[in-house]
Amino acid sequence: MTLPAPTYDLVMLLDRSETGEEADAARAKIVADAKAAIEAQGELLRHDDWGNRTLTYPIDRKTEAEYHLFQFHSPNVELLSSLDRTLRIVDGVLRFRLIKLKPGVPDAPEMHASALTRTTEARPETEREPATEASEPAAEADADPAGETHAEPDADTAETGIEVEAGESA
């Protein structure tokens, strides 16, 4: 019984520090060469252009990269060594990663370049009323990872023993 060819992911981060038609053509050539090499010795399942993204940390003093994901089948190990060697020496590739996927791993999510460029909006900070000497200290609110707030009971509620169920008001 023959096993199916393993599935691989190739993620490439291409240098975006240079702009212009020549730099765009150079990046397009890198992508086209990788795609051609995969198609010559394997089966290309998908190519996702994730667009330009800010790097988490600078790489060689560069803060932005163009992301590409290739997913492919290949029984040929020479393809992997060829891609590894080529991508190491080509100028314009900041980082790349070849990963052999285990059987049963779910497909990569559909990510389009437009969905990745999000604008971050500043959230207005919640304003607290200053505690006065005559008033009781305000109850502290804890936030959980889902963003919901859970307030601790007031001292008045704890003393009276009155419990309020969800949806009711006191």
CATH number of domain containing 53: 3.30.70.60
Whether 56 is in a domain gets the answer: yes
- In tens, the pLDDT along 89-147 reads 999 999 999 999 888 777 777 765 444 444 333 334 444 444 444 444 444 445 455 55
Do the domain assignments include residue 157?
no
Residue 146 within a domain: no
Q: How far apart are CA 11 and CA 51, in angstroms?
A: 12
Domain count, the chain: 1
> Within a domain: residue 42?
yes
Position 116 in a domain? no
Domain range for 22 is: 7-110
pTM (two decimals): 0.61
Q: For residue 74, is it within any domain?
A: yes
Q: Tell me if 133 is assigned to some domain.
A: no
Enumerate residues 6+ apart whose C-beta is below 8 A from 164.
157, 170
Largest CA distance in the chain: 82
